[in-house]
C-alpha cells in the first residue's frame, strides 16, 4: 500500500511538472511574442502619428549630405535617382559643413524612448521594427535597442543596435540570412537612411565590445565613416556568443520625396 502511494504521488508530481514545463514553453514561445509584437506595433504607430503631426520645416535639409564611410570597397555609390549618395571618405562630423550643406547633429533621446523605425527588406516586406534608446531588458521587450554612447542615426561613427534573436517577437531571428549588399533602411520621420551590409554575419564572444566601436573591431572598415552595427544572440536558442552584422551608410533621402528604392523593389 505504501509503495503504491509513493508511485502514485511521483506520477502525479511528474504530470504536474510536465504541465508546468509545457505552460512555460508556451509562454516563452508564444505569449511573450504576442505581447512584444503588440508593443512594437504600438511604438511604430505612435512614431508615425507623432511624425504626421510635426510640420516639416521649410528648406529642410536633414541628412541630405550624410557621410560615405571609409570602409571596405563597395564598387562605388549605389544610391538611386533622388537619393543623396553618401559623401566620400573624409568623415566630417555631424553638425559641421559638408559640401556646402550642414549635416545636423542628431538629438539625444530619453532612455526607453522610440525615435526611429528600421526596415530590412531581406527579412520580409512587412518587417518593420521600432528603435528605442538603450538596451535594457524592458527596452528590448518593446523593440530594438540603440546602444548608449554610440553614434546617432546617420552620424559619423557607429550607430549600433541590439535585438532579441528569440522570444519577445524574435525581431532578429533571421539575421543570419543577411548578405553583402542587402539594404537596412531607417527613418527618423524626416529622412530615410539606407545602409548597405558589408559581408556575412560575424560570430564573436559577448565580451567583444569592440564590435560597436566607432570603427568596429573585426569589421574590415579602415577608418572613420558612418556605420551601422546589428547585434543579437548566437546560437538561436542560446547566448554563449553574439552574431554581428555591419553596414555602411549608402544614401539618404528626405521623406518628402517618398520611400527609397530599397523599399519599393
* Domain containing residue 37: CATH number: 2.40.260.10
Rounded to an integer, the average pLDDT of 19-27 is: 53
72 located within any domain:
no
Split into its structural domains, the chain has a count of 1
**Arithmetic mean of pLDDT, 100-108:** 52
For residues 134-138, give the mean pLDDT: 96
Report the pLDDT averaged over residues 43-64: 70
CA distances to 77, 243, 250 from 83, rounded to whole Å, are 11, 30, 9
Is 149 tagged catalytic? no
In a domain, 60, yes or no: no
Which residue segment(s) compose the domain that 255 sits in?
A: 2-54+82-263
Of residues 90 and 28, more confidently modeled: 28
State the catalytic residue, choosing from 84, 146, 164, 261.
164
Q: Indicate whether 86 belongs to any domain.
A: yes
Q: What is the pLDDT of residue 59?
A: 45
Whether residue 241 lies in the annotated active site: no
Q: Establish if 73 belongs to a structural domain.
A: no
- pLDDT for 62: 39
- Note the Cα 226 to chain centre separation in Å: 15
Average pLDDT, the chain: 80
Q: Which residues of 209-224 are buried (b: 16+ CB within 10 A; e: fewer)?
A: eebbbbbbeebebeeb
Cis omega before residue 235 (within 30°)?
Answer: yes
| pLDDT surpassing 70 at residue 233 | yes
229 in a structural domain: yes
Asked if residue 48 belongs to a domain, the reply is yes
Domain-located, residue 193: yes
Catalytic residue list contains 233? yes
Q: Can you give the pLDDT at residue 37?
A: 84
What is the rounded average pLDDT of the residues 101-108? 54
Q: Is residue 66 part of a domain?
A: no
124 band by pLDDT with thresholds 50, 70 and 90: very high
Choose the catalytic residue: 233, 248, 253, 261.
233
Confidence (pLDDT) at 106: 58
Q: Check residue 119 and give its pLDDT.
A: 98
DSSP conformational letter for 28 = I
DSSP state of 87: B
Amino acid at each position: 500500500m505504501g509503495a503504491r502511494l509513493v508511485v502514485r504521488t511521483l506520477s502525479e508530481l511528474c504530470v504536474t511538472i510536465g504541465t508546468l514545463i509545457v505552460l512555460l514553453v508556451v509562454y516563452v514561445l508564444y505569449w511573450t511574442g504576442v505581447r512584444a509584437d503588440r508593443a512594437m506595433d504600438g511604438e511604430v504607430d505612435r512614431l508615425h502619428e507623432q511624425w504626421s503631426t510635426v510640420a516639416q520645416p521649410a528648406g529642410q535639409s536633414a541628412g541630405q549630405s550624410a557621410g560615405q564611410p571609409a570602409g571596405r570597397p563597395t564598387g562605388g555609390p549605389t544610391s538611386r535617382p533622388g537619393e543623396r549618395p553618401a559623401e566620400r571618405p573624409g568623415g566630417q562630423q555631424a553638425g559641421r559643413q559638408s559640401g556646402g550643406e550642414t549635416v545636423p547633429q542628431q538629438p539625444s533621446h530619453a532612455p526607453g524612448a522610440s525615435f526611429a523605425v528600421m526596415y530590412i527588406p531581406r527579412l520580409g516586406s512587412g518587417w518593420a521594427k521600432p528603435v528605442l534608446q538603450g538596451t535594457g531588458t524592458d527596452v528590448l521587450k518593446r523593440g530594438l535597442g540603440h546602444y548608449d554612447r554610440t553614434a546617432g542615426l546617420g552620424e559619423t561613427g557607429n550607430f549600433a543596435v541590439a535585438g532579441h534573436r528569440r522570444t519577445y517577437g524574435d525581431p532578429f531571428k533571421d539575421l543570419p540570412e543577411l548578405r553583402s549588399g542587402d539594404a537596412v533602411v531607417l527613418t527618423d520621420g524626416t529622412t530615410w537612411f539606407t545602409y548597405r551590409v558589408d559581408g556575412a554575419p560575424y560570430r564573436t564572444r559577448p565580451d567583444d565590445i569592440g564590435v560597436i566601436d566607432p570603427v568596429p573591431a573585426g569589421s574590415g572598415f579602415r577608418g572613420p565613416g558612418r556605420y551601422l552595427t546589428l547585434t543579437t544572440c548566437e546560437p538561436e536558442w542560446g547566448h554563449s556568443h553574439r552574431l554581428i552584422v555591419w553596414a555602411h551608410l549608402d544614401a539618404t533621402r528626405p521623406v518628402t520625396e517618398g520611400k527609397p528604392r530599397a523599399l519599393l523593389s
